[in-house]
Chain A
Amino acid sequence: MIGQRFLESEAGFKVLFDCATISILVVDEKGYIELSNPCAEKLFGYFPDELKGKPIETLIPGNHRKKHFDHREHYFKNPKSRSMGGELELFAQKKNGEIFPVEISLGHYKVDSEKLAVAFVTDITAQVRAQKMVDEREAWFRSIAENSPTMIWVADEKKEYTYFNHTWLEFTGCDINHEKGLGWLDNVYPEDRSVMLEAFDLAYEKREPYITEFRLKRGDGEYRWIQQIAKPAYSPEYEFTGYIGSCTDVNDQRTTQEELELKVHQRTQELNDALDREKTVSEMKSRFVSMASHEFRTPLSIILSSVTLIDQYVGGVNKDERIGKHLQRIRTSINNLTEVLNDFLSIDKLEQGNVKLEFNALNISEFVQDLIANMQVLKKGEQRINLDVKGEDMVLLDANKFRHVLENLISNAIKYSSDGTEIDLHIQNDNGALEVMIQDHGIGIPEEEQVHLFNKFFRATNTGSVQGTGLGLTIVKRYVELMNGTITFKSKSGKGTNFTIKLPNIDYEENSIGH
């Protein structure tokens, strides 16, 4: 009860009044200040007791005084303890004229039928300033969010969409109240709606970010492809607060990409068609080569046998030289044509990938001697073919391909060398690995043309009237490569040419089985 006594004692009251850190003003019914505590005097910038007897409106800024006067009159008619102004912002004025924000609460009491009001005044300058800063910052952030070039939405921790920024609203042409909740789904392309919701549900369960693309109807009614990136949001206290989504119109990129993909698809299709056509043409060519090779041989057989018969019928010692010359020409031409047919057939089979190796074990020395013996008829006059074989006798190789290669190179050496020259053939058999060198002393290959030598249909400019298809060396090279070998050459125009073939050792056990 000491407290009660303290309040009832004048000294106790005075301590409360003097030491309070809130400003206290006691005003009478006419609006004059009866009492002011030191805190109030200090706040308003008056000396002690200087306020006493001054109208309370002295402490109120000029433009509020008239209104205050009315309020005061009204208050004394029906006094109650309350805070003043309610939601209103209140201002007070210091002695030096400075105006500052305040909070005021009012109390009242009677002394001898005299009504008195007590005002408790708090300077809220600091709070107002702080609030202003907070407001400004919030406005700043809001303006960033509202004016962001991307559309932004926010959903709360219960997946409820609560915010759409200005960019979003501008895009859809709807107001925020329409978009909130699931209203925004109205503008999503119907087929994309469930996809959108499922993506959110899935990510939400795991609190994971997610990316989706969907079509959103723009204010003008056009559906545009939107890319949405959304991530969970957390408060500074790491409390999950929902999701923030950022949406960008990617319609143009997507359209461009789709167009590009379509174009790629079309080009691929065209390419495939072209390849198919090419394949068809290639097959037709192949069939033609095969057919031509076959069908040409019948008339060629008739011509050749008829020429032979004519030769025999007009023959003998009395044969006219001119007839003999022409019969020989026909025979040579038929042989050339037959060679062309054979070359075409060979190259076609190589290109179709229909050529396979068949290995035979053979005595290299005997094999090449036989081969040279059969080629003697092709030689020009005093030409000589010298053979030199070193190393082991036996070798495993595809005899037909090897024969073809050697025949071709030797017949070239004969064709492109003059009468009386020598052709040297060196063969080294190093335990099955062969090195074959064919050296002639013929017209050689012009240096600038050497790079084309193995090209299909290439013929050097100095071959003149010598017959040939330009396929012989192409086939030779392909055969050598088929046998895993290499072919190289050195040549000097007017001096001669040297071809070197290297064939690797073939594993007999592995390759002889089944042949």
Chain B
Amino acid sequence: MKKTVLVIEDNKEIRENTIELLELAGYRVIDVEDGKAGIHAAEKELPDIILCDIMMPLTDGYEVLENLKGNSSTTNIPFIYLTASAEKKEIQKAMDMGASAYICKPFDVNELIDTVERLLQ
């Protein structure tokens, strides 16, 4: 049975490329383009792992994680931030909120797959 990855990313190209990379690596991928849809999809689909951008309009990545952590059915889903920020304080904030890992853009595909695999074990 293929593991399911939920990708929450507002940038279409990054989202599509990430999906392709994950599918090539053998995952089933669900994708949404904003935070609110991400929360909804996570609660409905209960994916095995979530990849989420931080900076998104309206509902950002922090809010998504906060919602999912507050919901018993989603609280234990491994959560990886994809961030375009190299700012330490943002990364620190993400980790403090309970993210499992973060990956800085531009990311190496090996780093992405390795991290996903590690968290799914």
A residues at B contact (CB < 8 Å)? 290, 293-295, 297-298, 300-306, 308-309, 312, 334, 338, 341-342, 345, 400
Contact assessment for B86 and A305 in the assembled complex, using a CB-CB cutoff below 8 Å: no
Determine if B76 is an interface residue (Cβ-Cβ < 8 Å). Answer: no
The answer for the CA separation of A303 and B17 in the assembled complex, in Å, is 10
Contact assessment for B14 and A298 in the assembled complex, using a CB-CB cutoff below 8 Å: yes
A298-B11, A298-B84, A400-B88 in contact; A309/B17 too (CB < 8 A)? yes
Residues of chain B in range 1-47 having any CB-CB distance to chain A below 8 Å: 11, 13-14, 17-18, 20-21, 24
CB-based nearest A residue for B17: A305
The answer for the CA separation of A400 and B87 in the assembled complex, in Å, is 13
Classify chain B: how many residues form its interface, as a range: 20 to 34
Question: Which residues of chain B have C-beta atoms less than 8 A from A334's C-beta?
Answer: 106
Excluding A301-B84, A308-B109, 8 further A-B contacts by CB distance (< 8 Å) are A290-B87, A294-B84, A297-B106, A301-B11, A301-B105, A305-B14, A305-B106, A312-B24
Contact assessment for B106 and A338 in the assembled complex, using a CB-CB cutoff below 8 Å: yes
Residue-by-residue, is B77-114 near A (CB-CB < 8 Å gives 1, otherwise 0)? 00000001111100000000000000011111100000
A301, A304, A309, A341: which contacts B86 (Cβ < 8 A)? A341
Contact assessment for A342 and B14 in the assembled complex, using a CB-CB cutoff below 8 Å: no
B11, B18, B85, B88: which contacts A294 (Cβ < 8 A)? B85
Contact assessment for A345 and B86 in the assembled complex, using a CB-CB cutoff below 8 Å: yes
Contact assessment for B105 and A308 in the assembled complex, using a CB-CB cutoff below 8 Å: no
The answer for the CA separation of A309 and B112 in the assembled complex, in Å, is 13
Question: Which residues of chain A have C-beta atoms less than 8 A from B20's C-beta?
Answer: 305, 309
B14, B85, B87, B108: which contacts A302 (Cβ < 8 A)? B14
The answer for the CA separation of A293 and B90 in the assembled complex, in Å, is 14
19 contacts between A and B (CB under 8 A): A293-B85, A294-B55, A295-B84, A297-B86, A300-B105, A301-B11, A301-B17, A301-B107, A302-B11, A302-B14, A304-B108, A304-B109, A305-B20, A305-B21, A305-B106, A306-B17, A309-B20, A309-B24, A334-B106
B residues at A contact (CB < 8 Å)? 11, 13-14, 17-18, 20-21, 24, 55, 84-88, 104-109
Question: Which residues of chain A have C-beta atoms less than 8 A from B86's C-beta?
Answer: 293, 297, 341-342, 345
Nearest-neighbour CB distance to chain A for B113, whole angstroms, equals 10
Nearest-neighbour CB distance to chain B for A130, whole angstroms, equals 100
B24, B88, B105, B109: which contacts A297 (Cβ < 8 A)? B105
The answer for the CA separation of A206 and B105 in the assembled complex, in Å, is 82
Nearest-neighbour CB distance to chain B for A170, whole angstroms, equals 78
CB-based nearest A residue for B88: A400
Question: Which residues of chain B have C-beta atoms less than 8 A from A400's C-beta?
Answer: 88
Question: Which residues of chain B have C-beta atoms less than 8 A from A312's C-beta?
Answer: 24
Contact assessment for A302 and B24 in the assembled complex, using a CB-CB cutoff below 8 Å: no
The answer for the CA separation of A301 and B104 in the assembled complex, in Å, is 9
Question: Which residues of chain B have C-beta atoms less than 8 A from A303's C-beta?
Answer: 106
CB-based nearest B residue for A342: B86
Question: Which residues of chain B have C-beta atoms less than 8 A from A301's C-beta?
Answer: 11, 14, 17, 84, 105-107
The answer for the CA separation of A294 and B82 in the assembled complex, in Å, is 12
Nearest-neighbour CB distance to chain A for B39, whole angstroms, equals 23
Question: Which residues of chain B have C-beta atoms less than 8 A from A298's C-beta?
Answer: 11, 14, 84, 105
Q: What are the 8 A-B residue pairs with the smallest beta carbon separation, nearest first? A: A305-B17, A300-B106, A297-B84, A301-B105, A301-B106, A297-B105, A304-B106, A302-B13
Contact assessment for A305 and B84 in the assembled complex, using a CB-CB cutoff below 8 Å: no
CB-based nearest A residue for B107: A301
Contact assessment for A309 and B21 in the assembled complex, using a CB-CB cutoff below 8 Å: yes
Nearest-neighbour CB distance to chain A for B21, whole angstroms, equals 6
Contact assessment for A308 and B14 in the assembled complex, using a CB-CB cutoff below 8 Å: no
Contact assessment for B88 and A305 in the assembled complex, using a CB-CB cutoff below 8 Å: no
Contact assessment for A304 and B84 in the assembled complex, using a CB-CB cutoff below 8 Å: no
Question: Which residues of chain A have C-beta atoms less than 8 A from B107's C-beta?
Answer: 301, 304-305
Question: Which residues of chain B have C-beta atoms less than 8 A from A345's C-beta?
Answer: 86-87
Question: Which residues of chain A have C-beta atoms less than 8 A from B109's C-beta?
Answer: 304-305, 308
CB-based nearest A residue for B110: A308
Question: Which residues of chain B have C-beta atoms less than 8 A from A295's C-beta?
Answer: 84
CB-based nearest A residue for B109: A308
Question: Which residues of chain A have C-beta atoms less than 8 A from B87's C-beta?
Answer: 290, 345
Question: Which residues of chain A have C-beta atoms less than 8 A from B17's C-beta?
Answer: 301-302, 305-306, 309
Nearest-neighbour CB distance to chain B for A204, whole angstroms, equals 70
Question: Which residues of chain A have C-beta atoms less than 8 A from B24's C-beta?
Answer: 309, 312
Question: Which residues of chain B have C-beta atoms less than 8 A from A309's C-beta?
Answer: 17, 20-21, 24
CB-based nearest B residue for A346: B86
Residue in B11, B87, B104, B105 whose Cβ sees the most chain A Cβ within 10 Å: B105
The answer for the CA separation of A412 and B90 in the assembled complex, in Å, is 29
Nearest-neighbour CB distance to chain B for A329, whole angstroms, equals 15
CB-based nearest A residue for B82: A301
Question: Which residues of chain A have C-beta atoms less than 8 A from B105's C-beta?
Answer: 297-298, 300-301
The answer for the CA separation of A293 and B85 in the assembled complex, in Å, is 7
The answer for the CA separation of A338 and B18 in the assembled complex, in Å, is 19
The answer for the CA separation of A297 and B106 in the assembled complex, in Å, is 6
CB-based nearest A residue for B10: A298
Nearest-neighbour CB distance to chain A for B103, whole angstroms, equals 10
The answer for the CA separation of A342 and B106 in the assembled complex, in Å, is 12
Nearest-neighbour CB distance to chain B for A19, whole angstroms, equals 124
Question: Which residues of chain B have C-beta atoms less than 8 A from A293's C-beta?
Answer: 85-86
